[in-house]
Structure 1
Amino acid sequence: MRELYLRGVKAETILSDVVCEDVISIQDAVIVPATLNELLLKRLLEVKDDVEQTNGLLFSFLARRASETVLRTFVGAHPDVFERRMKVYYYQSAYQPKVQLYARAHSLGILPEEFRSTMVASLESDIFYGLDTSILNEEEVLSLFTPKQLMALPRRVKDELLPAIEERIEQIAEEADLEIEPRDNFDQISSSLSELEAFFEGDDDGANAYENVSACLDVAVDQVKDRKEAEERRAARDDWNWEEYVPSKSTSGPPARTSSVPPASPSLPRSMFSDVAE
């Protein structure tokens, strides 16, 4: 039955509906036994190089749904898969399928060095320019970095990333949306700080630097809260002034017109003998 399924559906459907038997359990997924690996690989090789959709699905399948055997065999037969590009739908790089595939392939020793170094450069850009902290506690992704890069990472995060986050907090405070709750303006920053707190665990210098930025966030939230309350008071005052100066509408109609001229008497019908009498 599974063989008929693999032969009959589109290759793109396999990427989202199938999981190999010896990897993670996914609800409602079609489990493919190792005996059908050859057929599965044949269908995977049919997947077109499509930046908009299928490349991302292929990366996700190879990173999470494929068995180690399937992944190794596919990469061996199709090494240019690492050259494919995908449209990024995720702000946080740790959850991007291509990053996950590179990390898994590197852990298995099948990621070429040129792709590893290129990915690390991209991740560093995401961290220090995009303020993306999502990978800082992801060991498999961090394994893409060299030991020397990993040793330097805490210092760079403290000296480069934390000051950049502090600047971003000030910018958000200046441009805050006063229609929402003050702290909601800083949701992304709050998430980053939670990840940084875990990253600096056991590092006293880093933890102190983190605490300073966290305090800046609290100050910024209070500033936005004060501006929101001041704006609400101003709006309420303007509404009160408007109601005070708008003339009240009268419900009675206009006064009746008077005249010194008496109303004309109603004309009476003439008798047929009136002219004779005259």
Structure 2
Amino acid sequence: MTTKTDPLSLLASYLGYAGHDIAAHQFAPAKDLDLFVRNNWLVPAGYPAALPCEACDEPHSVEVVSKNCPPYGLCLRTGETFPIMDDGKIYRIDAVAVAGSLASSLNLDGTVRQLRGSSCLLAMGGTRIHDTRVNFFFIPGLDRLDAASSVLQAVANQSGSITAALIVASETLDQIHPLAQRNKVILLRDIAQIHADGRFVIDETSLARIILPENALGRRLGAPSRQRDRIIPILDEFAREGGTIDNSNQTCRLVRSRYRELYDDAPPANGTIRSAVRYWRGDRSDP
């Protein structure tokens, strides 16, 4: 399995198994799991009952012994044992903990809770954006049109007349793009990054623009954002190198990578980068 090191991509992969036990090292090196364990997004769940034998040359599985001692594998054919390394650990993915961290960064009131009748849709609480009350919901993934319709109906029923926003951790909304456009469905990557200390860093400008596009122009600040001022020279450099400057995810990834090389603060979210691209092209309507 291909390993990932980008925290948001890694988080999206893990959340695809929310509520289940997985060998987390299959997605990333063990050293990259610390942030997720520290935030309780990955909860240690012991060791598998059996593993491939490392004590002999015969291909077979062996029992893992872990009671009252460091875990080890026991080969019943030879009687030999071998230690179980950390990358053999099993973890449980806790989507509620992820949503709780996100709700904290969004400064939402209320508590994270699972909606009745849904195993994966979470209500996170609400806040006021400009003059509008917004209720936020979270779901690990939303890749099927039939499931998306029922999820969005549940969000609408729960939120009533209050504006609702559904944040999705998966990497793309391609399969439900028309439905997502008509509703406040937001990719986590478009409004947040994960800082090295484990916090979600929210791009409040992009968030407001997505949720309240009709209000965004009148509420914008006059001064350009600091991040945009840093992104523009990066785009200039890409252009000199003959690169393609567009609103694609590839451009966003390249900008974030270069930004990390130059600055210590959290890299910009996709929405901030795309706003800078529009500004770089000559559209001065963005802040």
By the TM > 0.5 criterion, same fold? Answer: no
TM-score by length of 2: 0.25
Larger radius of gyration between Structure 1 and Structure 2: 1
Structure having greater relative contact order (Cα 8 Å, sep ≥ 6): 2
TM-score (norm 1): 0.25
Q: Which has the higher helix share?
A: 1
